[in-house]
A and B are shown apart, each in its own frame.
Chain A
Amino acid sequence: MDKILIKGGTLYTMTDGENNIFHGDVLVENGKIAQVAPEIVCEDAQVIDANGNYVLPGLIDAHTHIGLFDFNHDSSVDDANEMTDPVTAAMDARYSINPKARELKVAYEHGITTMLFTPGSGNVFCGQAIVAKTYGDNIFEMTIKAPAAVKIALGGNPKNTYGDMKRLPMTRMGVANVLWETFRKAKEYLDKQNRGEEQDYDANMEAIIPALKGEIPCKIHCTQYDMITAIEVAKAYGVKFSLEHAWGATDYLDEIVESGCDICYGPIATYRSPGERRKVDVEAVKMLDDRGVNVAMITDSPILSEESLYHHIGEAVREGVSQERAVRMVTINPARQLNLDDRLGSLEVGKDADIVIMKGKLGLDTDAKVLYTMVDGKIVYQA
């Protein structure tokens, strides 16, 4: 297998501690990072000169619906919401993704090499989110983790879906009721399973079990005061979870910190109106990061464009997050949230060779652009 040596760039390794930005080289071999050092000599490698440029781990967008909300036709297609029952936890996002969606190309051309694809928020238990690389032509081959998370939604979306049908949940208390009941049933189902008792197979319960066992997180769509409900229920069942979107988080900093949950903040830039949109407070990411919360920035693409991930990081920087911390929010932070930090999120030996070479400082220079994108050691884009 070919070796590639990236020479002389400023490396953003995204590792913890000091000296994680330095001038150096990266050696790629067999699709993995083989060496990261100030000076690497390897005579049989293809050399890419990165002098004057920046070398980063491939970026990660931890919350998208690309190919599920398919905007690639005259009218948009919604394959993200199986809105026939408030609990459709077993739905597997992979089967809804259009791998030909143009946004995927935009993604890797902008250095975004990995994404979490999730069902929408029309149900309380929406389905199974999956993680995949953005380059490829078969989503099942591109996938690196499935299921990757149990997607849950609170607030206006599920209540409008079922309110219109005159079914539970029509209210926020109804949503909470479905949440409590479903977790209770899932726990009961798991307990019976553990005791070896016979019971009818229930695909939705089976899909929630990995979250109850702590194997995958719940990704909970919520904003403003719905966060309190999310935190209360998730804590009661001891699941690992992240709050998705999290507009209004500045009002719930203590609760978030105390719960130990992660945050996926975004998309920014909705207009402000009473209700769920009343507070869109990107300054929250600075406050949460300062208090040790794992924060990722997300686009909700294609609702906002994939390239807007740059603007999202930029807005964090505008609010006082250092550029290096902001880049963490689209690299190592989401990798850790998804328990994929053994493969993604930093320039470290043994990890997937998902590497971006950029001209300009991402999140600071508005004209920062990708020169090379590498996925699994293969150059998939070159400016």
Chain B
Amino acid sequence: MYLIKNATVHIGNGTVLQQSDVLVEGKVIKEVGKNLSAEGAEVIDASGCEVFPGFIDPVSSIGAMGIPGRYLDNNEATNPITPEMNLRYSMDPDEVNRQEFYKSGITTVGLSPTNNNIMGGQIAVCKTAPQKMKERLVKEHAGLKCSVTSSVKETYGSRDQLPKTKMGIFFLFAESLRKARAEKEEKRTEAQKVICDVFDNASMPLFVAASSKTEIDGLLHLMEKEKVEVNLVDGFCFADSLKQIKEQKVGLVLGNVNNCSQIAKNGMDLSKLCELVENGNRIAFTNSNGGYSEGREVFIWSAIEAYRAGVPAEEVVRMMTEHPAHMLGIQDRVGTLEAGKDADLSVYTANPVTSYAAKVKHSMVNGEVIF
């Protein structure tokens, strides 16, 4: 049992409690409040510190690449439609451990395929702390990772296979849906079963890499009448398609904006995030851009860019915690500091959204102090 005392506690849902405590029992949070006490609990003095729920990167390539190896384990680039692939089988715990994610407060990542297939496979969510595999796996089949970016046409077009163009990508996307639905149930392939399950039963949300306006508009047009929940990934030109994004209320997992100068390249107007916040769209950050993740630091940097652009600090915190948890359907376990949820949290010396001096003093995952 741990009792974290006298901290500024960011619940993750926009609420901030001053001078408060967090009581952890076993793997879960038992209570959050003022003047808590518990016999036998180890006390962690967090005076002057700020406690945050573990941050969540919903679409990470790290942990699924299997580096070094001749072929990346999250890139089944043999067929543009591979929705049946389960990222759990590519989970490389050492690759996750090596990143020391806890130093940046990131405790959960959604392992994802690259952007090279239109339907790449199913996201598996895992904790970042070096613990046993069964402790780490939060959820498999958490989302279907798709892509309509130029990565797809570069991958298959260079082999003179469909799709070689943007219209080729959307044609194949729509055709795969139509064919799966048209096939008799008993005759459906594994891929077609997954497609029907996702699009007709909304069994898991979509995470679709789309970056340019053409890609975003095309995707939203294609998904207009579908009931599946859609989250854009990367979305560097989101501000150019604001109207549609607001109307369809899709989520946005903003790619690593500092990588390859995305803000300058795309003339990004990050202040438009404020309109999405107001409209109630879910927003999250990822270390990845173009299907490849960079190091732990960039997660905070993207959050800082949003804050610099005018998003209120506590809204930014929600984008690092509560929003991605909801996107992945794991909000019953992580994303906020509330009784009954996994004890995944970071004790920071200051608020990392507003101050560069903020440093992780302690990190806890599944109730275990790992740092």
Contact = CB atoms under 8 A, between A and B. Distances in A.
Given A305-B257, A311-B301, A269 B295 contact: yes
Interface stretch (B83-91, B259-267, B320-328): B259-267
Given A271-B99, A305-B258, A106 B295 contact: no
Interface in A264-279: 268-275, 278
Size class of A's contact patch? 35 or more
A72 B265 contact: yes
Interface in A257-290: 268-275, 278, 280
A366 B216 CA distance: 30
B164 to A, nearest CB: 15
B208 interface: no
A135 to B, nearest CB: 15
A191 interface: no
Interface residues of B, number: 36
B263 A305 contact: yes
Interface string A314-343: 110110000000000000000000000000
Nearest to A303: B260
Nearest to A362: B356
Given A278-B98, A366-B304, 7 more contacts: A302-B264, A304-B261, A311-B301, A315-B297, A318-B358, A363-B356, A364-B357
Nearest to A369: B308
30 contacts: A71-B261, A71-B265, A72-B265, A105-B264, A106-B263, A269-B296, A270-B294, A271-B287, A272-B98, A272-B99, A272-B100, A272-B295, A273-B68, A278-B98, A302-B261, A304-B258, A305-B257, A305-B259, A305-B261, A307-B305, A311-B304, A313-B356, A314-B304, A315-B297, A315-B356, A317-B356, A318-B359, A365-B354, A365-B355, A366-B354
Given A270-B295, A272-B98, A302-B260, A364 B356 contact: yes
A35 interface: no
A304 B295 CA distance: 12
Interface string B332-363: 00000000000000000000011111110000
Contact of A318 (B62, B305, B356): B356
A103 interface: yes
A265 B356 CA distance: 18
Q: Which of B98, B257, B356 has the most CB of A within 10 A?
A: B356
Q: Which of A71, A102, A305, A314 has the most CB of B within 10 A?
A: A305
Contacts of A308: 258, 301
A301 interface: yes
Contacts of A274: 67-68
A29 interface: no
Contacts, number: 106
B59 to A, nearest CB: 14
B257 to A, nearest CB: 7
A369 B263 CA distance: 16
B140 interface: no
Contacts of A369: 308
A61 interface: no
B293 A271 contact: yes
A307 B295 contact: no
B307 interface: yes
B259 A304 contact: yes
B165 to A, nearest CB: 13
B264 A102 contact: yes
A19 B39 CA distance: 52
Contact of B355 (A103, A105, A366): A366
Given A311-B304, A364-B356, A271 B264 contact: no
B298 interface: yes
A302 B293 CA distance: 17
Nearest to B267: A102
Nearest to B310: A367
B76 interface: no
Contacts of B305: 307
B146 to A, nearest CB: 22
B261 A311 contact: no
B217 interface: no
A273 B72 CA distance: 13
B258 A311 contact: yes
Given A268-B295, A311-B297, A317 B260 contact: no
Contacts of A304: 258-261
Contacts of A272: 98-100, 295
Contact of A106 (B260, B261, B294): B261
Interface in A65-79: 71-72, 76
